[in-house]
């Protein structure tokens, strides 16, 4: 929608109606007049835009965001900005109010959508005479019947449990024991439920533990645990030897649908047929305030959007603050899924900015290649490489594996990429030499924890990466010369086949 005032935008966010707001496609006469005003400004220049980025401004925003997270204390007992919380609602209001300060440089849009979220309160799995420590309830699992323990023998499912024929008749009224592989955890749980199982256990194909998500709820989903291959192996041997292994499964959980909102802004000026798009997520996990994850990315976008108003652009620039990323990329999924084909084609590339200032950082670039992703992804990757090199900074490639909001864009044919500074991964000795910090520790020791507050952000990394974000915006807002034209292909098949994650959760 065009020309939303601060009050009407905030009112829309507060109401969170379930009506989809169409993408920004039309320009009114007033908007075209505003474009004439902005065209008198100098064309965006990367060095000039980068020069406006300061630690002081970023930290001021971070302090405000942390105070906003504290508004959830009464409900959650600690600061958080998880979707559905007061902290998240006020986070959206903060972004909206800051955008309103920028005048008519941007068109505003809100996009409300239904978001599925779940919570597990208690769980326990007993297999034979043991209580395996690796047993982990799947995200979005339903509870056991009546939220009470259920009892049944284990039944080893054939193959990898991806076909109804893999589930023998005797699984009815018992607990399905299923090997990980090929199909999604949700499909396995649904098939087990359809066969009459009272619960399901999905065990890993290697010795490691296994946690993931069932994804979109199904009436046939049953209470489902993940289990390490190490804990599963003796059970498998007993079952294959014809022995009976009884089990007790208990999960007390809820799966709810709430309404939440994406915020999208687009420059009034610039070719609307060739749009630069970038995004970050506005929500945190329930466990903490999420100042690095992904307050840092959200505020980076806000800072770049603020200073871009000093310049004119040749190509339109679209910023998005996604809701529900931590619940499984819900906001970005919804946006791309509801995008008409002609609007899809207008997005020349999407850039994802998630966790810009991890305290034990590495400068990470998603290793997006044209061989397995939409053409143009590799050119974006190389832009980041060239910039780090020009500043004499080291960098490292990380998998482009579906763990953030770029996923829906890649799956639907839109070139993508991004940068990050690390989450729960372990910094190597080589990276300690490249970036400093401490080898053997997580890149972000407060990842998804209460301590992800203002003190958890490395300002040096945050400023440098915000300058790089400014560079990426300035480069493509000025020209797409040398960048591949969009292809008609809707999906990246190889990417989809190889991707095991959707957001922070394993899906298969």
- Residues with active-site annotation: 325
| Beta carbons within 8 Å of 157's beta carbon, 6+ residues apart | 166, 167, 168, 171, 176, 177, 178, 179, 192
The Cα 505–Cα 508 span in angstroms is 9
505 three-class SS: strand
Burial class (CB in 10 A: 0-12, 13-18, 19+), 312: buried
As a whole number of Å, the end-to-end CA separation of the chain is 38
| Beta carbons within 8 Å of 271's beta carbon, 6+ residues apart | 314, 315, 316
The Cα 21–Cα 8 span in angstroms is 14
Q: What is the CA radius of gyration of the chain?
A: 24
445 three-class SS: coil
Check if the beta carbon of residue 307 is closer than 8 Å to that of residue 379.
no
- Other C-beta atoms closer than 10 Å to the C-beta of 414 total 27
The Cα 226–Cα 200 span in angstroms is 9
Q: What is the DSSP string of 341-368?
A: HHHHTTEEEEEEE-----TT---EEE--
The Cα 361–Cα 303 span in angstroms is 21
506 three-class SS: strand
The Cα 404–Cα 322 span in angstroms is 11
Whose CA is closest to 455, among 280, 288, 254, 264?
A: 288
Whose CA is closest to 507, among 138, 216, 213?
A: 213
Instruction: Count the alpha carbons within 13 Å of 120 in the hemisphere toward its beta carbon.
Output: 18
φ and ψ at residue 255, rounded to 5 degrees: -130, 115
φ and ψ at residue 145, rounded to 5 degrees: -55, 125
130 secondary structure, DSSP code: B
Task: Provide the strand spans (E) within 204-360.
Answer: 224-227, 246-267, 271-281, 315-322, 347-353
Phi-psi sector, 376: left (phi>0), alpha (psi -120 to 50), beta? left
Beta bridge partners, 203, equal 179, 227
φ and ψ at residue 373, rounded to 5 degrees: -135, 165
44 three-class SS: coil
């Amino acid at each position: 929608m065009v020309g939303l005032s601060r009050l009407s935008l905030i009112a829309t966010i507060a109401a969170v109606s379930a009506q989809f707001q169409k993408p920004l496609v039309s320009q009114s006469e007033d908007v075209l007049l505003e474009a004439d005003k902005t065209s008198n400004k100098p064309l965006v220049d990367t060095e000039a835009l980068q020069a406006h980025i300061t630690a002081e401004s970023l930290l001021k925003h971070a302090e405000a965001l942390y105070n906003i997270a504290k508004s959830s204390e009464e409900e959650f007992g600690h600061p958080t900005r998880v979707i559905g919380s007061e902290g998240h609602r006020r986070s959206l209001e903060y972004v909206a109010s800051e955008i309103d300060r920028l005048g008519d440089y941007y068109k505003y849009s809100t996009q409300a959508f239904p978001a599925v979220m779940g919570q597990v309160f208690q769980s326990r799995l007993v297999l034979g005479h043991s209580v395996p420590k690796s047993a982990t309830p799947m995200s979005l699992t339903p509870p056991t019947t009546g939220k009470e323990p259920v009892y049944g023998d284990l039944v080893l499912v054939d193959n990898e449990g991806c076909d109804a024929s893999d589930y023998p008749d005797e699984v009815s009224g018992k607990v399905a024991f299923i090997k990980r592989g090929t199909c999604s955890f949700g499909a396995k749980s649904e098939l087990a439920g359809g066969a009459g199982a009272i619960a399901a256990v999905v065990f890993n194909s290697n010795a490691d533990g296994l946690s993931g998500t069932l994804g979109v709820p199904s009436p046939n989903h049953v209470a489902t645990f993940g289990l390490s291959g190490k804990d599963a192996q003796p059970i498998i041997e007993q079952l294959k030897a014809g022995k009976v292994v009884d089990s007790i499964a208990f999960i007390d959980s809820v799966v709810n649908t709430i309404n939440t909102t994406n915020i999208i802004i687009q420059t009034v000026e610039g070719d609307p047929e060739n749009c630069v798009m970038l995004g970050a997520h506005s929500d945190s996990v329930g466990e903490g305030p999420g100042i690095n994850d992904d307050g840092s990315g959200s505020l980076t976008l806000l800072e770049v959007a603020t200073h871009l108003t000093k310049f004119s652009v040749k190509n339109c620039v679209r910023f998005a603050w996604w809701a529900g990323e931590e619940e499984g990329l819900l906001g970005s999924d919804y946006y791309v899924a509801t995008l008409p084909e002609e609007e899809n084609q207008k997005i020349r590339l999407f850039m994802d900015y998630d966790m810009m200032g991890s305290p034990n950082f590495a400068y990470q670039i998603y290793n997006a290649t044209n061989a397995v992703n939409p053409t143009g992804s590799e050119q974006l990757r190389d832009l980041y490489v060239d910039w780090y090199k020009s500043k004499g900074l080291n960098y490292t490639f990380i998998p482009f594996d579906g763990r953030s909001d770029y996923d829906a864009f890649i799956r639907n044919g839109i070139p993508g990429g991004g940068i990050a500074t690390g989450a729960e991964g372990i910094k190597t000795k080589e990276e300690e030499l490249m970036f400093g910090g401490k080898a053997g520790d997580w890149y972000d020791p407060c990842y998804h924890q209460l301590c992800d507050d203002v003190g958890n952000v490395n300002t040096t990394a945050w400023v440098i990466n915000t300058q790089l974000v400014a560079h990426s915006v300035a480069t493509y807002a000025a020209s797409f010369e040398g960048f591949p034209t969009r292809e008609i292909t809707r999906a990246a098949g190889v990417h989809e086949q190889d991707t095991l994650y959707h957001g922070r959760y394993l899906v298969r």
